[in-house]
Structure 1
């Protein structure tokens, strides 16, 4: 049922414009610019979840890099609701 609800919501919701403080935005951009060396070996569930969260952070950094509008206090960027949801889940 959750997937059925998502199928109805998906065409209704796209990106939302959000404002992020400079320090947070710069950290996200840094996550996107980071070089990864080596592959992924066997990992625990906690390590997998941490790597997944790092990937979500990097995608937010990509969005900021490509379409963010910076000012003295931070950045305004339109984020996909999936990126917003990942950040909200991490905050909980």
Structure 2
């Protein structure tokens, strides 16, 4: 690929960020319901302590750690503002956290 393509990609990324800023202003948080088992696993990810900083990572390892961090942030949201209703939890998730979960499912 030539440098011109990467210049266009950088410009595209700036537009994507601007779209994200517009979406964020309109949505902020979205209400979701999660089964107890998934909610408890997310909370456990939040409460887990990892020893030491990560060393050099492959792109795959970085992606795995990033996904685990997104799950932990969902666990934080459940801990702070989740409402347990029987076998489900209702929680307002930041749209970015909800989007990360949807991307992981795809």
The TM-score range, normalised by the shorter chain, is: over 0.9
SS in 2 for 1:16: strand
Partner of 2:5: none
Larger Rg: 2
Single out whichever of 62-71 and 9-18 deviates more from structure 2: 9-18
RMSD: 0.9
Which aligned pairs between 1:1-92 and structure 2 lie closer than 5 A?
A: 1-92=15-106
Hey, what's the Cα distance between the residues in 1 that align with 2:19 and 2:49? Answer: 37
Q: Which has the higher contact order (CA 8 A, sep 6+)?
A: 1
Hey, what's the Cα distance between the residues in 2 that align with 1:91 and 1:12? Answer: 24
Higher helix share: 2
Structure 1 gap segments, 5+ residues each: none
- How many equivalent pairs are there? 92
**1:42-90 deviations in whole A, cap 9, x for unaligned?**
0100000000000000000000001000022110000010000000000
Runs of 4+ deviating beyond 4 Å: none
Structure 2 gap segments, 5+ residues each: 1-14
Q: If the length of structure 1 is used for normalisation, what is the TM-score?
A: 0.95
Q: If the length of structure 2 is used for normalisation, what is the TM-score?
A: 0.83
